[in-house]
Structure 1
Amino acid sequence: MKKKGFLIDMDGVIYKGSEPIPGAVEFINGLRDRGLPFLFLTNNSQRTSRDVCYKLNKMGFRVNDTDIFTCAMATARYLASKKENGTAYVIGEGGLLTELYNAGYSIVDDQPDYVIIGEGRTIMLESVDKAINMVMKGAKLIATNLDANCPMGEGKYRVGCGALVAMLEFASGIKAFSVGKPSPVMMRMARKALQLTTDETVMIGDTMGTDILGAGSMGFTTVLTLSGVTKEDDLAHFGYSPDFIIKSIKDLLNEELFMRVMGEPLLVDATY
């Protein structure tokens, strides 16, 4: 079998809410049994990798903390590579704060090097006002991701990081730099974490504008699953296409299809 590894989105791909998508546990645990490398990628900066791992373990996935790569991790590592022991004013929660501390950053309320925006369920307008003024005084504006909204299950959504960032950009006149999917920063970090080359990397995701766009731009093999955000009718609106289209990750339990994904990239609609 040709060497390949997998970058895998989570919500809408391997689970919805607190329930695994049928076939997902078998597929992921099967990758582990085959010794094939994989890494979960998420644009949710709220939770630490340990928190995410705990949730997956409860569902039956045999995964470790090191199998999780969040946009908070990517953001912290990127900033540490640009400025060691920097300072940041943060609108976000535990996952982002933990990664910044781990990267040697100090969280401050005055004259930060960076203003960093992540997800948050209890964001005060006072914090947003402070962030705007810091950016206008020279702090660099960083977004963990630019997702406009986040699905909560049962057809419900909450405001995403991108919506808050858009408000700050409009108020300050300064554009944010985003590190999360589809940014090549996060995609490249994830590939390197698995020690894979471009043609050895497969991305499985449910969102055209993040998972498929980001991975496709990097030259990875892309697999779109229709079990999450993107539906089949949506595909006509995009100027790019995934290499494979599946109903859900359960389809990859079909050995013939799995082997095609593991081979040379082909434009195949595997929906049935």
Structure 2
Amino acid sequence: MKGFLIDLDGTLYRGHEPIPHAAAFIHWLKQHQLPYLLVTNNSSRTPEQVAEHLLELGIEIPAAAVYTSAQAAAQYLTEQRGGNRVHMVGEAGLRIALEAFGFALGGTTPDYVVQGIDRSFSYEKLTEAVRHLKHGATYVLTNPDRMLPSDGGLMPGAGSLAAAITAASGMEPVVIGKPSPIIMAYAIERLGLPAADVWVIGDNVHTDIRGGRLAGCRTALVLTGVATADNVQEQLASAGLTPDLICDDLQHFIEQFNGMGSL
């Protein structure tokens, strides 16, 4: 039995546009009863919001099939037992995940600064986060993505904000999202299969493919997001990685996967 850890942004959709063959790919997984988990570095949405967004794009999945970097960050903090006070830089998905795990947000002396994507990021938020870190808070970053696919093209991600916080504070964060082994281990555990039986599918060589490789999974790069037919060789060279498969899109992945006789 093979299982699948599948990226969202740039793999199933771009902003509010479904990527061709995404719905057919999910149908193929269900038809063959193949276990899967949609693993996203984007911390802005809850699993329920992700499922709702996908449904609007014609892709029907249960919220339980979504695992976000916000959930993984909250799970990680719970295991650290280093306090429950959190200063958050992020959006609703991160806030809800932290509150669901019992963390107290706000206050003047947080144990952690947890940062994700924040599209209302400001100089004031930068200053506040840096001051907390300088006073001893531990820095946790949901994901290192510097750029994200969107409706109008690429936009800065959580990693770009983290670069400013790190430069100002001198503190390097604990990174939770792909390619970190932290989220990969949690996701593989949820899937319930050995890493060697898991395929990681995504559009980003530096996060999806590197994360899958480090976790001991098979990897497939789709050229529908950060990686494209025009830049794939440059992307592979900069990452120093070669995925097991390079696919034009998810339909192409199905064809190559079937050709391997893996079902």
Q: Is the 8 A contact 1:23 1:249 kept in 2?
A: yes
Cα distance in structure 1, aligned partners of 2:102 and 2:259: 43
Alpha-carbon distance between aligned partners in 2 of 1:138 and 1:236, rounded to the nearest angstrom: 38
1:154 to 134, 148, 152: 152
Unaligned runs of 5+ in 1: 264-272
TM-score, L = length of structure 2: 0.93
2:100 to 91, 99, 102: 102
Q: Structure 1: how far apart are the matches of 2:71 and 2:97? A: 6
Tell me what 2:34 maps to.
Answer: 36
Q: Any stretches of 5+ residues in structure 2 without a counterpart?
A: none
Distance 1:261-1:240 versus aligned 2 partners, 3 A rule: farther
Residues 236 and 115 of structure 1: is their aligned pair in 2 closer, same or farther, counting only changes over 3 Å?
closer
- Which aligned runs of 4 or more in structure 1 are off by greater than 6 angstroms? none
Pick from 200, 216, 234 the counterpart of residue 219 of structure 1: 216
Q: Percent identity?
A: 36
Task: Decide whether the 8 Å contact of 1:27 with 1:252 is kept in 2.
Answer: no
Equivalent residues of 1:187, 1:215 under 8 A apart? yes
Q: How far, CA to CA, are the matches of 1:11 and 1:130 in structure 2?
A: 29
* Residues 149, 109 of structure 1: alpha-carbon distance in 2 compared, 3 angstrom cutoff: farther
Tell me which residue corresponds to 1:188.
Answer: 185
Aligned residue runs from structure 1 range 69-148, under 5 A: 69-83=67-81, 86-148=84-146
Contact 2:85–2:107 (CA under 8 A) maintained in structure 1 = no
- SS in structure 2 at match of 1:262: coil
Deviates more, 1:113-122 or 1:83-92: 83-92
Report the alpha carbon displacement of residue 154 of structure 1 after superposing the two structures with TM: 3.3
Partner of 2:237: 236
In 1, the alpha carbon distance for the partners of 2:97 and 2:123 equals: 24
Partners of 2:148 and 2:226 within 8 A in 1: no
Shift of 1:60: 2.0
Q: Are the structure 2 counterparts of residues 261 and 87 from structure 1 closer, same or farther at C-alpha, using a change threshold of 3 Å?
A: farther
1:229-266 CA distances to partner (integer Å, 9 max, x unpaired)? 11333233332210011110011343x63352737xxx
**CA–CA separation in structure 1 for the residues paired with 2:261 and 2:217:** 11
TM-score of the superposed pair, with normalisation by structure 1: 0.90
Secondary structure at the aligned position of 2:251 is classed as helix
- Aligned mate of 1:203, from 176, 181, 200: 200
Shift of 1:85: 6.1
Match of 1:171 among 163, 168, 178: 168
Aligned length: 259
Shift of 1:127: 2.1
> SS at 1:88's partner residue?
strand
Distance across 2 between alignment mates of 1:71 and 1:63: 18
CA contact (8 A) 2:223 2:248 kept: yes
Report the equivalent of 2:258: 258
User: In the TM superposition, what whole-angstrom CA distance separates every residue of 1:49-90 from its partner, at most 9, and x where no partner exists?
Assistant: 110000111222220000111100100001011117611000
Give the secondary-structure state (helix, strand or coil) at the position aligned to 2:260: helix
Alpha-carbon distance in structure 2 between the residues aligned to 1:261 and 1:238: 29
C-alpha spacing 1:65/1:84, structure 2 compared with 1 (3 Å)? farther
Task: Give the match's secondary structure for 2:201.
Answer: strand
Offset at 1:19? Answer: 2.4
